[in-house]
Amino acid sequence: MFAEEKPFLQPLPLEPFRYYQYGKRTVHIDGCVEVEAAYYGAPPGWIGRQVDVQWDAMYVRLLETGERELTIMRWGLIPFWSKDAKIAYSTINAKAETIAMSPAYREPLKRRRCLVPADLFWEWKKFDAKTRQPYAIALQNESLFAFAGLWDTWKDKAQGQSIDTYTIITTDPNELMESLHNRMPVILHKRDYERWLVPAERKRVFQAVW
């Protein structure tokens, strides 16, 4: 699943994904945030603080509270500053070696990291110009694992709505993958999940499990 396979991997359309409205709100003295004439509780100690809020018809989300959540996002990161969604065609994957320098990934690397759960991924081995063999790659025990990812929220000004998007980070292939492709997704050890999500310092955590 890499950028050069665009004929097979296109960003999904916006319609199936959750759209949000976005704004800033102040936490009142009663510990609540007002959104469209309704009130929602904020974490303890947030009274008087201005917070970023996303909401739609179903629920309200206070951003960067430190809590974990499982959510649906569109594959193909659209930076918050992008004028349109076309950039997503080239941001399905992000090279680990250059994300710290890329305008699209610098901010997400600092504060918007994520885990992308999977039970396998596909790769195509190229034999010649016309022949490619697909391979499914999974853990030997067939358990779930997680790719290192980055996410961002992009606002569609034409629609007045926001959408969460993400990218999967890639790195050099390990011994298993090098015969199939010159890149592979970064697969994190379980012990590194928290370290990746809340980086205390800049260290290399891009180590595959195999």
96, 117: one domain: yes
pLDDT of amino acid 187: 94
- Record the pTM: 0.67
Between 116 and 41, where is the model more confident? 116
CATH number of the domain where residue 119 is located: 3.90.1680.10
pLDDT for 82 equals: 92
Residue 136 · residue 147 · CB < 8 Å = no
pLDDT for 201: 44
Judged against a pLDDT cut of 60, whether residue 12 lies above it is answered with no
How far from chain centre, in Å, is Cα 183? 19
pLDDT more than 90, % of the chain: 29
Domain identity same for 83 and 42: no
Confirm if 148 and 186 have CB atoms less than 8 A apart: yes
Range of the domain at 86: 1-15+72-210
More confident residue, 138 or 68: 138
Percent of the chain with pLDDT over 70: 73
> Are the C-beta atoms of residues 103 and 94 closer than 8 Å to each other?
no
Between 93 and 128, the higher pLDDT residue: 93
Higher pLDDT, 3 or 148: 148
For 61, counting Cβ atoms within 10 Å of its Cβ (0-12 exposed, 13-18 middle, 19+ buried), the class is middle
Are residues 27 and 111 both part of a single domain? no
- Examine the domain organization and report whether 191 and 122 are in the same domain: yes
Note whether 51 and 114 are same-domain residues: no
State the total domains in the chain: 2
Mean pLDDT, to the nearest integer, of 76-81?
93
| Residue 125 shares a structural domain with residue 169 | yes
Rounded CA-CA distance 156/82 in Å is: 9
Locate all alpha helices (DSSP H) within 67-175, ordered by sequence.
106-111
